[in-house]
Amino acid sequence: MSFGLADIPSEFNVASWVLDRHLAEGRGGNTALVLGERRVDFAELTEAANRAGGALREAGVRPGERVLLVLADGLEFVAAWYGALKAGAVTAEAYTFLPVKDLAYLLRYSQARVVVADATTLTNVREAIAASPWEHTILAVGVAAAELSAGELAWEEALDAGSPFEPTPTMRDDIAIWKFTTGSTGAPKAAVHTHASPRLSAENYGQGVLGLRADDLVLSVPKLFFGYGRDLTTLFPQAVGGGGIVFPERSTPERLFDLIERHRPTVLVAVPTMIQQMLDLHGAESRDLSSLRFCTSAGEALPAPLLARWMDRFGVEVLDGLGSSEAYHIYISQYPGESRPGTLGRLVPGYDARLVDEAGEDVAAGETGELWLRGDTAALMYWAERDKSLATYAGDVVHTGDLLSRDEEGFFTYRGRADSMLKVGGIWVAPDEVEACLGAHEAVAEAAVVGVERRGLTTTRAYVAVTEGTTADDDLADALRDHVRNTLSPHKYPREVVFLPRMPRTGSGKIDRSEIRRLAQSAD
């Protein structure tokens, strides 16, 4: 049974629903965050969020205005995020290692009233603000007031100076959260969400699929700037009185194993790349993952051979899923105890789906079609992108651009992106299908397939990163072409194979498709 928009009261604030509710119901002493050896309970987190909301308000933020968070994971990030929402502001987050030009783009695009930065990001934020036509106030975390300039406030002093905080009354349909598209194919766009979207996702996915509990402790590979990781660390478990592990350092296999053995989380939020890196780490077979109930995986397709290696090594179920900024979070997922390797699983409660052909007609079971998704978490629009909004959103229907097939039992299999389809020799080829086939070869760590022009005709080129100890040479390139010919329809094999030492990545950890295409263009 799904939880719908009509189940949320018209006056609603998602931060108050998560935090204040636990205090009112006697769960203020439950652990909300684990930060190193420190445990922050709901009472402390709520106080921190209220003080942050007051500081943001004193810094000039008004309801409906954007607050851009550009800081490392920690209590300050979580408090600022919840505090901004309680103040009626709109949250947006940026990758902490973005170059100045990309930060400047986000500042111009968001017109953020306040930017919350820290010692790691402050220099780049200052340079980006200097190039922005808008006025922005910086709240600097962990930086002494004496080191700040005009238009900059010390976070700690702002917290102390804030007046007693009363949350801003908000409606469930008020704008609350910007979720940036990851930018793997171009400049990020903000999918605009209301206060209702995160609750709907917490109810239908966090509880309806994952079954998160008050005794769950979640550890995430993606950092908090990435909505997949933030919601599964600091929203979905906290919605039921559980907690999340937050750490400022970069996610590495060594760090993750250490955190799991030290804090004994029950859920690991992962991505396929890290699953592979954890498996490949020397000594991984001796690491203890027995505390985990399950792992989640998203961001890119989880190859069945990789899942099989993980299960053989650790035996911890991995629940693959498909979600997007446009629909807030995961909307197709494996269910605990019901996973089927090689598929994405079934629809999350609260969603309906059609798979359609180029004419908008439903395709038969087992056939590939574009996913048209209907659900109450559909974003209102892309901010300041009317043409793209009209192409993607039709009321509560999202034209996802993802190509999937669905079997008669309702299990979906990912087939690629509609906008990445290539016509080779007059026949359509899905790069993702070829990439998955290459990824199943024992010599391949990762692969990305693009189209290149040869005398006016499109042909395919595979960029391949090989596994450790493998020799990348012409013989291997021939073997990979033969592998695809023998596994898929023969016309789908990559005509060219180029080896890379490693795949370029976006800030969210996905393969950077725009960089792969740039490599292809510069090579020709």
Residues 249 and 334 both lie in one domain: yes
At residue 524 the predicted structure's pLDDT band, cuts being 50, 70 and 90, is low
On the question of pLDDT at 507 being above 70, the answer is no
pLDDT computed for residue 185 by the predictor: 44
Residues 264 and 396 both lie in one domain: yes
Residues 226 and 144 both lie in one domain: no
463 found inside a domain: yes
Cα 426 to chain centroid distance, Å, stands at 35
On the question of pLDDT at 287 being above 50, the answer is yes
Residues 225 and 171 both lie in one domain: no
Q: In degrees rounded to 5, what are phi and psi of residue 491?
A: -70, -10
Q: What is the pLDDT of residues 253-271, one digit of tens each?
A: 999 999 999 999 999 999 9
Q: Other C-beta atoms within 10 Å of 471: how many?
A: 9
- Could you give the CA distance from residue 284 to residue 252 in angstroms, rounded to a whole number? 13
Q: What is the pLDDT of residues 317-341, one digit of tens each?
A: 999 999 999 999 999 999 999 989 8
On the question of pLDDT at 424 being above 80, the answer is no
Mean pLDDT of 200-208: 98
On the question of pLDDT at 421 being above 80, the answer is no
Residues 242 and 388 both lie in one domain: yes
At residue 427 the predicted structure's pLDDT band, cuts being 50, 70 and 90, is low
Cβ-Cβ contacts under 8 Å for 365 (sequence gap 6 or more): 406, 407, 408
Q: For the ranges 172-181, 401-410, 478-487, 513-522, which has the lowest average pLDDT?
A: 513-522
With tokens 């194979």, the residue in question is 497
Residues 297 and 263 both lie in one domain: yes
Report the length, in residues, of the chain: 524
Residues 228 and 372 both lie in one domain: yes
280 found inside a domain: yes
On the question of pLDDT at 310 being above 50, the answer is yes
Paired with 175 in beta bridges are 194
At residue 426 the predicted structure's pLDDT band, cuts being 50, 70 and 90, is low
Mean pLDDT of 383-406: 94
Residues 285 and 409 both lie in one domain: yes
Sign for the pseudo-dihedral over CA of 472, 477, 478, 482: positive
Number of domains in the chain: 3
Q: What does 363-398 look like in DSSP terms, one character per residue?
A: PPTTSEEEEEEEETT--S-BTT-HHHHHHHEETTEE
With tokens 């690991």, the residue in question is 268
Q: Kindly report the CATH number assigned to the domain that includes residue 181.
A: 3.40.50.980
455 found inside a domain: yes
201 found inside a domain: no
Examine the fold and report which residue of 158, 192, 226 is the final residue of a domain before the chain moves on: 192
Residues 185 and 230 both lie in one domain: no
401 found inside a domain: yes
93 found inside a domain: yes
Q: For the ranges 176-180, 434-438, 452-456, which has the lowest average pLDDT?
A: 452-456
Q: In degrees rounded to 5, what are phi and psi of residue 464?
A: -130, 130
* Contact predicate 82/18, CB 8 Å: yes
Cα 80 to chain centroid distance, Å, stands at 19
Average pLDDT, the chain: 93
Q: Kindly report the CATH number assigned to the domain that includes residue 454.
A: 3.30.300.30
Paired with 114 in beta bridges are 67, 137
35 found inside a domain: yes
Q: What is the pLDDT of residues 111-166, one digit of tens each?
A: 999 999 999 999 999 999 999 999 999 999 999 999 999 889 999 999 988 778 99
Paired with 323 in beta bridges are 330
206 found inside a domain: no
Q: What is the pLDDT of residues 89-113, one digit of tens each?
A: 999 999 998 889 989 999 999 999 9
- Could you give the CA distance from residue 510 to residue 272 in angstroms, rounded to a whole number? 10
pLDDT computed for residue 238 by the predictor: 98
Examine the fold and report which residue of 377, 394, 417 is the final residue of a domain before the chain moves on: 417
Residues 49 and 146 both lie in one domain: yes
Residues 243 and 340 both lie in one domain: yes
N-terminal to C-terminal alpha carbon distance within the chain = 54
Question: Crossing angle, helix 14-24 and helix 75-86, to 10 degrees?
Answer: 110
Host domain of residue 456: 421-523
* Contact predicate 177/202, CB 8 Å: no
Report which of 389, 377, 386 is spatially closest to residue 351, judged by C-alpha positions.
Answer: 377
Residues 506 and 457 both lie in one domain: yes
At residue 29 the predicted structure's pLDDT band, cuts being 50, 70 and 90, is very high
Task: Tell which phi-psi region holds residue 469, choosing left (phi > 0), alpha (psi between -120 and 50) or beta.
Answer: left
On the question of pLDDT at 275 being above 50, the answer is yes
pLDDT computed for residue 411 by the predictor: 97
